[in-house]
Chain A
Amino acid sequence: MSKRKSKETSSVNGECISQVQRILRERFCHQCPNGKLFGVQLQYKHLLELLKRTTIHGESNSALIIGPRGSGKTMLLNHVLKELMEVKQVRENLLQVHLNGLLQTNDKIALKEITRQLQMENVVGDKVFGSFAENLAFLLEALKKGDRDSSCPVLFILDEFDLFVHHKNQTLLYNLFDISQSAQTPVTVIGLTCRQDILELLEKRVKSRFSHRQIYLLNSFDFKQYLKIFKEQLSLPTEFLYKPFTQKWNKNVQSLSEDRTVQDVLRNHFHCSKDLRSLHMLLMLALSSITVSHPFMTGSDLLEASKLYRMDSKANIVHGLSVLEICLIIAMKHLNDVYEGEPFNFQMVYNEFQKFIQRKAHSMYNFEKPVVMKSWMRLQHFNFSFSSSESLSQKRSMVDKLC
């Protein structure tokens, strides 16, 4: 009887652990839209107001969401859109165009993508347009369909906005901001970028058409709030199937957040980088050690994860080099110190190496010059030193700087 019971609990655990992994992995790696937002209530309200004005009241607008990498810009926007879509009028009318600076690398591709996302390929057909502006105007005109006297509101979302400013003449940006200022179609342009100096990159004519509305996401929470975020991120939702397990899990998380070692680990992490994305990576690493035999997270899991996350990669690579290569690196470092960062070449390093060999004749074999040369080339391959000038002479005289 007891054996069967334990078998049942263990089988429940297996399935249960699998579900736990599924939910938490989706939360940490894939940023599911059901997650919670932290510390950005004001920005959330601001953005929601803005979009409501476009979609319900028909006003045109433009805004930029600025924040460092991993601060939650895309997540904020997705949350706002989700709430907006709950309104019936918006759901039926709003057209969204999502552009990304990494994908649409020039204006032609961007225009084709806009046409595709507005599902206007048939309408445009084989027409040839004189300029970008004409094409865009045609698209917006064509949005007025049927008996409507005004067209549907259009939302343009530009991810990696700072990459669009490098296009030729900033045509796309100019036209988008232009129609957001002047056209009859209610159009909102929202840009997301990680660069704080984005306004300096805009051309004058583009900047003047922009509304200068900026929403900043600056990771402005302190360590106490960070701990709270940690607890909330790691907790299972109450709707989770296996109720008794959920309670145990959440209690475990509570005790973890009060544990000193865990707090130290998190404090170290917090001092390195505040943003939530790195926290997610740390939690994901700790989560991967959860199995049926080890169902609850412990402080040592987090410690291990932290060590793995913060391994010094350069030290690792140096650890793998041969003795001759390490001698060469020491010689390069010595030269760097003596000559205060001036570039050096192979001959100088070889001389240093010879001096070292003569001093400690018995501890190292005196390698021939071509062998040392081969090690030198290997070090260059690993980017330990890089050439600072294009010189015509052969490899021996190439001037290098130590990374």
Chain B
Amino acid sequence: MPNFEHPEYPEATLLHLESMVPCRESQVSSLLSVFGERQHFSFPSIFIYGHTSSGKTYVMQTLLETLELPHVFVNCVECFTSRLLLEEILTQLQNLSSENKHGSHVPCDTFNDFVRLFKQEIITQELQNQTVYIVLDKAEQLREMEANVLPGFLRLQEMTDRNVTVVFLSEIVWELFRPNTGCLEPFTLYFPDYSIVCRDLKELRHLAALNFTKYCEPVVRGEANERDTRRLWKNIESHLKKAMQTVYLREISSSQWERIQQDDGEPGHLKGLSAHAHVELPYYSKFLLIAAYLASYNPARTDKRFFLKHHGKIKKTNFLKKHEKTSNHLLGPKPFPLDRLLAILYSIVDNKVAPTANIFSQCGTCYTDWKEPCLLPIPLLNRSAGVLFLPWHILPQETKGSNTM
């Protein structure tokens, strides 16, 4: 006796459907009851939201295909402009009931043309008596298209005067979609995640596939039996920690990971992607980098105190006292002018530095030669002074001890 009851569809189909959508029975039964019978009207638009990998696309596709309802399935990331989207819907609609699966391309520029062509197409396909479903996956992309696309789709049933329901699948809640002047509200349905433990199915699958063999190792070696979860956990714990740093962050690829596992040695030095970011810099470039770091994080007032031999005290103004809480580190780097950078450089390098072209070229190469630009010049033309005023902006990096002096 299947969980789903529906007068329209045969029991066998419903049983088959139930077997294909585990743990999603309540959502599927709500959808079935909302859809109703084939010729009945349904909500003009339905909005389904839920986390990544909570099964929205899969369940929708399975439901529509198993029950053989006429539908059009479009991914809004694939068809990222309105023209692509509308043409894709019309093309798929053409292919719905024709034997020739490659229908001709239908040009469609505007939503106006779309409505007209859609109406004609429904009549030629003789689908007036059935609900046609248009499913728009990754619907958050619709917000980036023209302003009339989203409200237009919400009202498609009214505008075309046909039996059509538009289903939106998205990870983002409806409140962030709603246009400013309001619109026809869709029926919202939530797909909860599968369980407390497993949140992101794709991620989990990836990691589980990689780590499962290691997990089973003690059992294979005969040290523990299958139910001895504590022992298995102890074995796998350090391994998972290592995995968190590397595979989870996509620092090393899964094939590399598998190879390391097979070697079965202690994964001593895993050379991840971030390791390649450590570069040995030439002498002056190192100092330049340090000078730039100091310039970007220290306010200009404090230069006098740090870099001159005879300095006075700095009085703390009221403004400073109020904002003592937020340290400069938290707020991020600030832009600074080129001469300040050079001034700090001269004061931190021990021996005398000649302002040669060498230094200036190193400023430039810091930006161009390295794969990751450290110094980013923002040219600003100061017309009144007649001088190219170049504030430099340093991007903070993980300086993992590569700059040894």
By a beta-carbon cutoff of 8 Å, the part of chain A in contact with chain B is 14, 17-18, 21-22, 25-26, 29-31, 68-70, 74, 100-105, 109, 113, 162-163, 194-195, 277-278, 281, 284-285, 288-289, 291-293, 308, 311, 313-314, 316-317, 319-322, 345, 347-348, 351, 367-368, 370-371, 374, 381-383, 391-394, 396-397, 399, 403
Bound-state CA distance A274–B7 (Å) is 35
Bound-state CA distance A194–B109 (Å) is 27
Contact B396 A397 (CB under 8 A): yes
Which A-chain residue is minimally distant from B274 (CB atoms)?
A: A370
Contact A194 B51 (CB under 8 A): no
Interface presence of B71 (CB below 8 A): no
Chain A residues closer than 8 Å to B39, beta-carbon distance: 22
Contact B41 A30 (CB under 8 A): yes
Contact B190 A316 (CB under 8 A): yes
* Contact of B111 (CB < 8 Å), options: A70, A103, A194: A103
Kindly identify, within residues 145 to 178 of chain B, every residue whose CB is under 8 Å from any CB belonging to chain A: 146, 148, 151-152, 155, 157-159, 163, 171-176
Listed A/B pairs (28) with beta-carbon separation below 8 Å: A21-B40, A22-B37, A22-B39, A25-B41, A29-B41, A29-B42, A31-B158, A69-B184, A113-B112, A162-B181, A194-B182, A285-B187, A288-B33, A313-B173, A320-B192, A320-B193, A347-B332, A368-B245, A370-B245, A370-B274, A371-B245, A392-B393, A393-B333, A393-B393, A397-B332, A397-B396, A399-B332, A403-B176
Bound-state CA distance A348–B328 (Å) is 11
Contact B249 A317 (CB under 8 A): no
Which A-chain residue is minimally distant from B40 (CB atoms)?
A: A25
Interface presence of B133 (CB below 8 A): no
Chain B residues closer than 8 Å to A103, beta-carbon distance: 110-112, 115, 148, 152, 159
Bound-state CA distance A25–B33 (Å) is 12
Interface presence of B108 (CB below 8 A): no
Chain A residues closer than 8 Å to B152, beta-carbon distance: 102-103
Chain A residues closer than 8 Å to B199, beta-carbon distance: 320-322
Interface presence of B376 (CB below 8 A): yes
Interface presence of B299 (CB below 8 A): no
* Contact of B37 (CB < 8 Å), options: A21, A101, A322, A370: A21
* Contact of B171 (CB < 8 Å), options: A113, A194, A381: A381
Interface presence of B331 (CB below 8 A): yes
Expressed in whole angstroms, the minimum distance between the Cβ of A208 and any Cβ of chain B is 25
Contact A371 B248 (CB under 8 A): yes
Bound-state CA distance A43–B277 (Å) is 72
Bound-state CA distance A291–B5 (Å) is 9
Contact A392 B7 (CB under 8 A): no
Chain B residues closer than 8 Å to A26, beta-carbon distance: 41
Contact B40 A392 (CB under 8 A): no
Contact-residue size bin, chain B (C-beta under 8 Å from the other chain): 35 or more
Contact B155 A29 (CB under 8 A): no
Expressed in whole angstroms, the minimum distance between the Cβ of A186 and any Cβ of chain B is 27
* Contact of B159 (CB < 8 Å), options: A100, A317, A367, A392: A100
Bound-state CA distance A188–B173 (Å) is 42
Chain B residues closer than 8 Å to A102, beta-carbon distance: 111, 148, 151-152, 155, 159
| Given A288-B30, A345-B331, A371-B244, 12 further pairs, Cβ under 8 A | A25-B41, A30-B44, A69-B182, A105-B148, A109-B110, A284-B187, A291-B7, A317-B51, A317-B173, A392-B376, A396-B396, A397-B331
Bound-state CA distance A322–B201 (Å) is 12
Q: Given contacts A105-B148, A281-B187, A392-B378, are A288 and B171 in contact (CB under 8 A)?
A: no
In the complex, how many residue pairs between chain A and chain B have their CB atoms under 8 Å apart?
155
Contact B332 A393 (CB under 8 A): yes
Chain B residues closer than 8 Å to A25, beta-carbon distance: 36, 40-42
Expressed in whole angstroms, the minimum distance between the Cβ of B48 and any Cβ of chain A is 11
Bound-state CA distance A285–B42 (Å) is 10
Expressed in whole angstroms, the minimum distance between the Cβ of A390 and any Cβ of chain B is 13
Interface presence of B183 (CB below 8 A): yes
Chain B residues closer than 8 Å to A194, beta-carbon distance: 181-182
Contact A313 B7 (CB under 8 A): no
Contact A320 B245 (CB under 8 A): no
Interface presence of B94 (CB below 8 A): no
Bound-state CA distance A277–B330 (Å) is 49
Contact B43 A368 (CB under 8 A): no
Chain A residues closer than 8 Å to B396, beta-carbon distance: 393-394, 396-397
Bound-state CA distance A343–B29 (Å) is 44
Interface presence of B402 (CB below 8 A): no
- Chain B CB within 10 A, most for which of A31, A68, A70, A100: A100
Kindly identify, within residues 227 to 274 of chain B, every residue whose CB is under 8 Å from any CB belonging to chain A: 244-245, 248-249, 274
* Contact of B146 (CB < 8 Å), options: A74, A105, A292, A403: A105
Expressed in whole angstroms, the minimum distance between the Cβ of A307 and any Cβ of chain B is 12
Contact B49 A313 (CB under 8 A): yes
Which B-chain residue is minimally distant from A163 (CB atoms)?
A: B148
Contact A277 B185 (CB under 8 A): yes
Contact B157 A313 (CB under 8 A): no
Contact B183 A69 (CB under 8 A): yes
Expressed in whole angstroms, the minimum distance between the Cβ of B323 and any Cβ of chain A is 11
Chain A residues closer than 8 Å to B185, beta-carbon distance: 277-278, 281
Expressed in whole angstroms, the minimum distance between the Cβ of B311 and any Cβ of chain A is 30
Expressed in whole angstroms, the minimum distance between the Cβ of B195 and any Cβ of chain A is 11
* Contact of A289 (CB < 8 Å), options: B33, B157, B188, B329: B33
Bound-state CA distance A124–B375 (Å) is 63
Expressed in whole angstroms, the minimum distance between the Cβ of B55 and any Cβ of chain A is 12
